[in-house]
Structure 1
């Protein structure tokens, strides 16, 4: 009997070992199964996700283009901190003061909610609205209106280009407004889909940039990312109602400025980081040529400088180390992919914040630059309004206006 018990104890040990081995084998098989499933899922994801992304339609139809090599940030372009001396005004009381006009102690500007306002002795007064309520949302903008470029005419009326509604004449004292040119008017067979900036000649002729025939102001980043060239320069004589398309085929036609000699109009191309010159008078009348075809950023509006030449605000910069615009210009597929994955708003947030203003001489050469490398004070500038002692800095999207004394930037 003792021998049997010994045999029973001895036989029990292999059974336990065998059960343990079976359990371990099941665990191993289960682990291998999970590993295979994980690897299969990963491989499928790596294949299916790009396929889905590739098949998804892009909101843009990008074209290939190339920019000249980024100009070296030396000499007049050497980085400095001059823009950091600016002071923010009316924070969260003004949104998107794109363009400004100074008249003595009065300053006029337009806002993102469709208003045209007067600023006098630190107070803001609403002069008028070009569109109708409601305002404030993406879908409201075409009917609310978006005042952009503005100038005073010889009779002190404010002439305003609205991105959606057209060209207006505004009495700044009473708020009365008159539609001079509707955006639905066909100009060379095409309505002005995106009126942007203006200037007024001595004879009263108004020169207008029409940014794009494909995209409206709400989708302005898509126009840049697409690289399309359907912008143009238009002339309009309010006395005779004569309208002409002077130049077409411009990539994001933007800022407009008549030269001091009244011989030509300077026209900004934001996408091409360039400014062109169109001759409206003199022996070269009708000629179209480069003024500066390689700026260190994406230019917005251009205005006269009291220091000589012209101020140009940059909406973004082209850095020597790396420029997203330069990198993606010859690769349309990258820009197409970006717009599939990210919205316009997210794309703009991905870009580096760096404030810069340029001063160009009468020949288009950069003679001065003002910087905010951190972008914390001035992350971007749409326009510079020069009063002779003060520079007012506008923005198409920031919730404030900025002020910079010229005395603070001289000799620094």
Structure 2
């Protein structure tokens, strides 16, 4: 009986001490998350498309399996038939895709010394790379020359040079996801809930870098409209894509309340944008977005080496030129999808997790009406 009493009393005081220590650590931690804008908490009712493929892994092929280390973005060069992609090991790789995904040829092309993310093609055959750590790069001479174009704006260094698009006049438009946190610290950016992102331009003629928009909630993918009048860019943390009109700088919502967190956005040349979403909005995400104190607790757990935030049900949303949703391709077993590019009849997907590019034949495995 005495042993039981001692054990109960020990458990009681241990619990109280643990609670007091936790409260003290919480109070002492300087991390100060902010409330997200109310529209960031909106449901996805307006962005649900009429068509759905809810199991894309069933028909997926894996291009360059085992040879591509987390290929984040994809750019297709139509003249050569090559896919360019940036990998976690610092390589920009070129992929020759054949009828069989297993026969695809992967080439180590250029090593940037950083983490290449967004990729686009310049007007004179050069490859423009948004390197998370290096800045905006120009690779020319078939890979023989790599030039740093810009690494800061208004005296503030880029921390996550993310995505890039090229105008018909040669001007480069790109995003810096966060000027506060680097690529490896991105989880803290969303947990803090403050806008550290920027949309910028770089003019190769004048060599001037301009900040077009600031205070964005993790500025991510960017795409030029087919008529060259505006950009469509993504703010990951608040599940919104917006238009930026190049003449005048007007901003308007393109699509919001997305069913997942948008990463890259790509125009397919056929009247559609494809928005990649690394994860759906899970119940945990909803709670974290709504309550800053939960994000502070999560921040503390991440600092101690445990990240409870899971990513799931990733996919790609197809929308028209007005932002109206058309079709969603996803899979509940899939996560970390960062790019969706339509090449011919196939959808090619990049990832921050996998060692391949996923390919889906859209004719064989189309999205269908919701059941």
Q: 1:193 Cα shift?
A: 2.3
Tell me, in whole angstroms, the C-alpha distance in 2 between the residues paired with 1:354 and 1:344: 27
Secondary structure in 1 matching 2:110: strand
Shift in alpha-carbon separation, 1:244–1:43, aligned structure 2, 3 A: closer
Shift in alpha-carbon separation, 1:334–1:213, aligned structure 2, 3 A: same
Matching of residue 76 in structure 1 with residue 36 in structure 2: no
Q: Equivalent of 1:85, from 47, 56, 59?
A: 59
Which has the larger strand fraction? 2
**What residue ranges of structure 1 are gaps of 5+ in the alignment?**
1-27, 132-144
Q: Equivalent of 1:229, from 195, 207, 212?
A: 195
Q: Equivalent of 2:256, from 293, 296, 300?
A: 293
Secondary structure in 2 matching 1:342: helix
**What residue ranges of structure 2 are gaps of 5+ in the alignment?**
98-103
TM-score, L = length of structure 1: 0.80
Tell me, in whole angstroms, the C-alpha distance in 2 between the residues paired with 1:53 and 1:77: 48
Secondary structure in 1 matching 2:336: coil
Aligned CA RMSD, in angstroms, stands at 2.3
Alignment of 1:320-399 (within 5 A): 322=283, 324-343=284-303, 346-347=306-307, 350-375=309-334, 379-399=335-355
Q: Equivalent of 2:110, from 128, 131, 134?
A: 128
Shift in alpha-carbon separation, 1:370–1:258, aligned structure 2, 3 A: same
Tell me, in whole angstroms, the C-alpha distance in 1 between the residues paired with 2:212 and 2:326: 29
- Number of residue equivalences: 357
Matching of residue 404 in structure 1 with residue 360 in structure 2: yes
Matching of residue 271 in structure 1 with residue 220 in structure 2: no
Alignment of 1:169-208 (within 5 A): 169-171=138-140, 173-181=142-150, 183=151, 185=152, 187-208=153-174
Counterpart position of 2:83: 107
- For the 8 Å contact 1:268–1:299, the answer to whether it is kept is yes
Counterpart position of 1:153: 122
Which has the larger helix fraction? 1
- For the 8 Å contact 1:222–1:344, the answer to whether it is kept is no
TM-score, L = length of structure 2: 0.89
- For the 8 Å contact 2:53–2:365, the answer to whether it is kept is no
Q: 1:36 Cα shift?
A: 5.6
**Structure (1 or 2) with the larger CA radius of gyration:** 1
Tell me, in whole angstroms, the C-alpha distance in 1 between the residues paired with 2:8 and 2:341: 66
Q: Indicate the larger mover: 74-83 or 229-238.
A: 74-83
Secondary structure in 1 matching 2:205: coil
- For the 8 Å contact 2:329–2:367, the answer to whether it is kept is no
Structure 1: which 4+ aligned runs deviate by more than 4 Å?
Answer: 343-346
Secondary structure in 2 matching 1:373: coil
Tell me, in whole angstroms, the C-alpha distance in 2 between the residues paired with 1:312 and 1:411: 15
